[in-house]
Amino acid sequence: MAVNQPSALTREEALKIVDELVRTPNIKKHLLAVEAFMRRLARHFGQDEDEWGLTGLLHDADYEVPEKDLDRHTEITAERLRQYVGTERIISAILAHNHKAPMDTTMAKALYACDNLTGLIVACALVHPDKKLEPLTVDFVLRRFKEKSFARGASREEILTCEPNLGIPLPEFIGLGLEAMKGIAADLEL
């Protein structure tokens, strides 16, 4: 009798986890943005778009759960994901973005670099006269990137790891992020 056979993680299952743990619409949008960016980066590297997308979609799923113990962030998601088969790399990358595992795969390095850029791009859209992603150019984002006082929460240092860790120059990295996020502009309501 087969009882509780571990199953593979599908996007539907991942969305169930997200909807169960995430309370704030902006965090869900952030997860969707990083999912799209990760899928684009997987394509860039000829890697598994589904696996990279799931990593992006779930990376901050538990962000609001450990109210009193932020240190538990990513560990709660990791526990949930251990119930599925074949999620080791995803778990490791998610833990690594919160400095809880070594950043030893390209997927983990991609997550670390793209996470903060999505926030910077959202901030750029919001200050653009149209308040939309569509008119944003690489130059526009690059100029805001260089303004230290703009969207301070978006760590330039982490974004810039795209160059040494992924071998992607910053302008190209911004272009990939813009392309990915424009592709889901409706979901992001931007």
Residues of this chain that interact with Fe ion (CB under 5 A) are 60, 115
Nearer to Fe ion, 51 or 60 (CB): 60
CB-nearer residue toward Fe ion: 122 or 170:
122
CB 34 to Fe ion: min, Å: 6
**Residue 105 or residue 155: which is nearer to Fe ion going by CB?**
155
- DSSP states of 10-57: PHHHHHHHHHHH---HHHHHHHHHHHHHHHHHHHHHT--HHHHHHHHH
Instruction: Write down the least CB distance from residue 89 to Fe ion, Å.
Output: 18
The answer to whether residues 39 and 49 touch, using CB atoms and an 8 Å cutoff, is yes
CB of 30 to Fe ion, least distance (A): 6
Distance between CA atoms of residues 99 and 121, nearest Å = 24
Whose CA is closest to 59, among 97, 107, 110, 29?
Answer: 97
Minimum distance from CB of 5 to Fe ion (Å)? 32
Closest CA to 56 of 68, 73, 39, 72: 39
Nearer to Fe ion (CB atom), residue 35 or residue 60: 60
C-beta of 30 vs 144, nearer to Fe ion: 30
Count of beta carbons in the 10 Å neighbourhood of residue 149: 5
Q: Shortest distance, CB of residue 13 to Fe ion, whole angstroms?
A: 20
